[in-house]
Amino acid sequence: MTDAVLISETIEPGIVRLAFNRPDKLNALSSEVIRRLDEALDRIAADSGVRVVILTGAGERAFVAGADIGEYRGRRAKPFIAYQHESRRVFDKLESLPKPTIAAIRGYALGGGFEIALCCDVILCAASARLGLPEGLLGLSPGGGGSQRLVRAAGKYVASEVMLGARRITGERAFQLGLAAAVCPDEELTTAALERARAMLKVAPLAQAEMKRLIRIGPDAALPAAQTLEQEVLFRLYGTDDAEEGVAAFLDKRAARFRGE
Ligand code: COA
C-alpha cells in the first residue's frame, strides 16, 4: 500500500518495506506519519504472511530527521504532550512487534528517527548515516525513549556525548560501538538489508517472537529471573509443531517449512 507520507510495500514474499516518505522535509515525523506508522504496524502484526520488516527513508538524505519541528511552534502544551504520548506508544509497538525489524539508515537519523532505529532489532548503516539526539539544541530532550534506549544500548558515555554535546554518530562509528550490525557504501544498503531479511525468513517465526521478548525484557530483570524466563520460553517452543518440524528437517537434511504453530 502506498500513501503520501509512509510507503508500505511487499518487496519479496514475507518481506515488507516501510519507507518514511517526506524527503523534502528529511522525512520528519509529522503527527500523520506517526498515525500511518501505527496503522501499518497493526496491519503487519495481523498478517502472518509478513515475516520481516525493513524500515528506511525515502530519498538520499535522511532516514528520519526527527519530530516535525514545525508542529512544535507556539508552545501549546496540550498537542505537544499528546504527540509525545502517541510517539512513545507507537515506538513501543514497533519495539514489541513480534516479527524481526531492520532499520536501514542512509543520512540523518535524528531525534525520533534515531529513536525508531533503537526500537528495531537490527540497525544497518550506510556510510552517510548520521545518528543523533539533538533535542538539546532546541532546549528540549528526547521523549520517544531515545535517552533510555541509547544509554542501555551504548552506555553512559556514548549517550552523554550524543545528548549533551549534540554529537552525531557516523555509520562507521555506530558499527564500532555495536549499535549497527554493519556499515556499507550507500548504494549497497538495500542489498545488505535484503540479505539480512532473507536470513531471518529461515528462522522459525514463533521462536523469533519469543526471542525478541527475551532480548527486550531480559536485561531489565535480575539474572536468575531472566534465565527462568529463558527456559520457560524454550520449554514452550519445544511443544510446538515448528520445533518438531525444525528438528525433523535437520535430521532429514532438508529445509524446514515453518508454519508458525
Ligand atoms: N522538522 C521539520 N522540518 C525539518 C526537520 C524537522 N525535524 N528536519 C529538517 N526539516 C526540513 C527543513 O526545515 C528544510 O525544509 P525547507 O526546505 O522547507 O526549509 C528541509 O527539511 C531540509 O532541511 P535543511 O535544514 O535545509 O537541511 P540541512 O542540510 O541544512 O540540515 C539537518 C539538515 C538535519 C542538520 C537539519 O535539517 C536539522 O537540524 N534538522 C532538525 C533535526 C532535529 O533537531 N531533530 C529532532 C527534532 S525534536
Q: What is the CATH number of the domain that holds 27?
A: 3.90.226.10
Query: Which CA distances in Å does 234 have to 8, 53, 230, 256, 257?
Result: 33, 25, 6, 18, 19
Among the candidates 201, 216, 242, a domain finishes at 201
Both 172 and 119 in one domain: the answer is: yes
Distance from the alpha carbon of residue 105 to the mean position of ligand 1, in angstroms: 17
Distance from the alpha carbon of residue 122 to the mean position of ligand 1, in angstroms: 25
Q: Is the pLDDT of residue 256 over 90?
A: yes
**How many other C-beta atoms can be found within 10 angstroms of the C-beta atom of residue 160?**
13
Kind and range of the H or E element at 40? helix 31-46
> What's the pLDDT score for residue 261?
93
Both 25 and 44 in one domain: the answer is: yes
Q: Is the pLDDT of residue 15 over 60?
A: yes
Q: How long, in residues, is the chain?
A: 261
258, part of any domain: no
Residue among 123, 210, 215 at smallest CA distance from 170: 123
Task: Please tell me which residue in 60, 115, 230, 261 is annotated as part of the active site.
Answer: 115
State if residue 100 touches ligand 1 by the CB under 6 angstroms criterion: no
Both 235 and 190 in one domain: the answer is: no
Side chain identity, residue 168: R
Residue among 218, 217, 196, 205 at smallest CA distance from 55: 196
Integer Cα distance of 101 and 53 in angstroms: 5
Both 93 and 37 in one domain: the answer is: yes
Both 80 and 166 in one domain: the answer is: yes
Residue among 132, 104, 109 at smallest CA distance from 194: 104
Q: Is the pLDDT of residue 118 over 60?
A: yes
Query: Which CA distances in Å does 199 have to 49, 133, 186?
Result: 16, 31, 21
In the chain, what percentage of residues exceed pLDDT 90?
A: 97
Ligand 1, atom 21, lies closest to the CA of 25
For 54-108, the pLDDT digits (tens) are: 999 999 999 999 999 999 888 789 999 999 999 999 999 999 999 999 999 999 9
> What's the pLDDT score for residue 74?
83
Both 41 and 130 in one domain: the answer is: yes
81, part of any domain: yes
Distance from the alpha carbon of residue 25 to the mean position of ligand 1, in angstroms: 6
Both 134 and 209 in one domain: the answer is: no
Sheet holding 182-184, edge to edge: 6-12, 15-20, 52-57, 101-105, 122-126, 182-184
12, part of any domain: yes
The total domain count for the chain is: 2
162, part of any domain: yes
State if residue 69 touches ligand 1 by the CB under 6 angstroms criterion: yes
Ligand 1, atom 12, lies closest to the CA of 25
1, part of any domain: no
Among the candidates 161, 177, 201, a domain finishes at 201
Place of cell 542489498: 191
For residues 42-65, average pLDDT: 98
259, part of any domain: no
Query: Which CA distances in Å does 120 have to 197, 228, 237, 251?
Result: 13, 25, 23, 33
Residue among 134, 131, 118, 133 at smallest CA distance from 172: 131
261, part of any domain: no
| 224: its cell numbers | 536468575
DSSP 67: B
Q: Is the pLDDT of residue 1 over 60?
A: no
CATH classification at residue 244: 1.10.12
pTM of the entire predicted model: 0.97
Both 113 and 229 in one domain: the answer is: no
Exposure of 24 by Cβ count < 10 A (0-12 exposed, 13-18 middle, 19+ buried)?
exposed
Both 210 and 192 in one domain: the answer is: no
Both 55 and 172 in one domain: the answer is: yes
**Which of left, alpha, beta for 103 (phi over 0: left; psi -120 to 50: alpha)?**
beta
Mean pLDDT of the chain: 97
Residue among 121, 109, 120 at smallest CA distance from 169: 109
> What's the pLDDT score for residue 3?
53
> What's the pLDDT score for residue 73?
85
For residues 196-215, average pLDDT: 98
**Residue 115 falls in the annotated catalytic set:** yes
Distance from the alpha carbon of residue 127 to the mean position of ligand 1, in angstroms: 20
Instruction: State the residue range of the domain holding 239.
Output: 205-252
Both 86 and 106 in one domain: the answer is: yes
183, part of any domain: yes
> What 3-state DSSP class applies to 94?
helix
Both 128 and 214 in one domain: the answer is: no
